[in-house]
Amino acid sequence: MTDGFFKYQAQTSPYPLALEISHAKGSYIYDTNNKAYLDFVAGVSACTLGHCHPKIVDAIKNQADKYLHVMVYGEYAQQPAVDLCAFIAKHLPAPLESTYLVNSGTEAIEGALKLARRVTGRSQIIAAHNAYHGNTMGSLSLMDFEERKAPFRPLLPDINHITFNYEPHLKHITTKTAAVIVETIQGGAGFIEPENNYLTVLKAKCKAVGALLILDEIQPGIGRTGKLFGFENYNVIPDIVVTGKGLGGGLPIGAFTASKAHMDTLQDSPKLGHITTFGGNPLIAASALATLKEVVNSDLMAEALIKEQVIRQHLKHPLITQIRGRGLMLAALTTSADITNKVILEAQNQGLILFWLLFEPKAIRITPPLTISIAQIIDGCGIIIDLLDNISDHN
Ligand SMILES: Cc1ncc(COP(=O)(O)O)c(C=O)c1O
């Protein structure tokens, strides 16, 4: 299979992991030799309920028997999308009640940026250093790593950057600012939480100058931090909340939610202010709704915080300097990028899936499915500790 993978499938890097997948179930992925891999990554925070959760599979099968794509987003009333948007509205604080469904996280970010410009009539967008919001032109424009942006310029103009958690930079938010966009917990930067009421103060500053606050919940959202939305941990209500990844239960999705008054601006002058063919797709909406219902109606969110403590207890090692993050959005930092690389690559041989973070080379990503068991967590942590012991012995 890998021959075709390298020959015909466009690559994102010269060194993909290239695991040959046979099937996946619960917390395990199986390769074509039927070797099991315990999944500490969950498709990069996407597989909230693990792999092929029966309630998600049932929801998809039931919907597949009724209808698939019937019309572009926004024309026909389709029960799965209506129910999904209503569920999201019910679980978000006022005035966040109108949701636009799209196909990926980055598309939801694009929609949120357009909405902010439309609502405020302003153009300036302020993002944070070390942020990641996706890879389409608008989302890429928000990133501040010039080496990653330069080959694709010209990008969006009127983007400025502030340092996350650094209050003196809030003075750059002015009456020219359409929106400030930050990740609720910075992901690629190393799972950095907001500190000292930063998000509360940031929202107050935005409000004072008439700018909108967009929170990117694409990684922290959907129960991963012990709350359905990560921002519920930090005493803030954004003007626009963007979700994706874990919302889909293993299928591709993005969504941005705002007040009805704000969202209505996309439908008029010009009409069709944002359009998409497949957004709100019934199969995907059914899968997302099944995921949300299970997260909300089970103990998974409370358990995420207990599982965090188990991980923290079982990942104590001289080569681990720090564990950042909250709930099941954790990053273990080792003493060097080299050690992190060795652990991630060797873990795969040992039957444990780990992964990197985009901009923090010392970080080992630990974002397992919320459904992982305590015993499985202890097994996986044991593999990491053995690998680190081995590295210590050879140094
Ligand atoms: C915080 C954050 N925002 C946006 C995105 C983009 O989402 P997608 O890859 O679905 O376009 C990601 C993806 O990793 C992300 O982590």
pLDDT digits (tens, 9 = 90+) for 367-387: 999 999 999 999 999 999 999
Q: Which of 110, 135, 193, 245 to mutate to test the pocket of ligand 1 (most atoms within 8 A of CB)?
A: 245
Residue nearest to atom 3 of ligand 1 (CA): 133
Please tell me the predicted confidence (pLDDT) of residue 322.
Answer: 97
Q: What is the pLDDT of residues 316-330, one digit of tens each?
A: 999 999 999 999 999
Alpha carbon of 245 to ligand 1 centroid (Å): 7
Residue nearest to atom 7 of ligand 1 (CA): 105
Check: CB of residue 73 under 8 Å from CB of residue 276: yes
Alpha carbon of 395 to ligand 1 centroid (Å): 37
Residue nearest to atom 10 of ligand 1 (CA): 105
pTM recorded for the entire structure: 0.98
- Band (pLDDT 50/70/90 cuts) for residue 292 is very high
Residue nearest to atom 14 of ligand 1 (CA): 134
292: tokens are: 């949300």
Alpha carbon of 24 to ligand 1 centroid (Å): 23
Residue nearest to atom 6 of ligand 1 (CA): 134
Cβ partners under 8 Å of residue 266, min gap 6: 100, 111, 114, 115, 118, 273, 274
Please tell me the predicted confidence (pLDDT) of residue 395.
Answer: 74
**Token pair 């929609």 is at which residue?**
111
Residue nearest to atom 4 of ligand 1 (CA): 133
319: tokens are: 């080569």
Q: Which of 132, 136, 142 to mutate to test the pocket of ligand 1 (most atoms within 8 A of CB)?
A: 132
Q: What is the pLDDT of residues 131-174, one digit of tens each?
A: 999 999 999 999 999 999 999 999 999 999 999 999 999 999 99
254 Cα nearest atom in ligand 1: 10
- Band (pLDDT 50/70/90 cuts) for residue 26 is very high
Alpha carbon of 135 to ligand 1 centroid (Å): 8
Residue 283 has pLDDT above 80, yes or no: yes
Residue 278 has pLDDT above 80, yes or no: yes
Burial 111-133 (b: 16+ CB within 10 A, else e): bbbbbbbbbbebebbbbbbbbbb
Bond before 95 cis per omega within 30 degrees: yes
Give residue ranges with CB within 6 A of ligand 1.
104-106, 109, 132-134, 183, 187, 216, 218-219, 244-245
183 Cα nearest atom in ligand 1: 1
Please tell me the predicted confidence (pLDDT) of residue 394.
Answer: 85
Give the containing element (helix H, strand E) for 364.
strand 363-366
Q: Which of 187, 167, 197 is nearest to 242 (CA)?
A: 187
Q: Which of 218, 231, 358 to mutate to test the pocket of ligand 1 (most atoms within 8 A of CB)?
A: 218
Determine the Cα–Cα distance for residues 233 and 323; give it in Å rounded to an integer: 18
Determine the Cα–Cα distance for residues 298 and 279; give it in Å rounded to an integer: 28
Alpha carbon of 34 to ligand 1 centroid (Å): 30
Q: What is the pLDDT of residues 306-318, one digit of tens each?
A: 999 999 999 999 9
Give the containing element (helix H, strand E) for 258.
strand 254-258
Q: Which of 164, 219, 222 to mutate to test the pocket of ligand 1 (most atoms within 8 A of CB)?
A: 219
Mark out the alpha helices in 298-373 (DSSP H runs). Answer: 300-314, 337-349
134 Cα nearest atom in ligand 1: 6
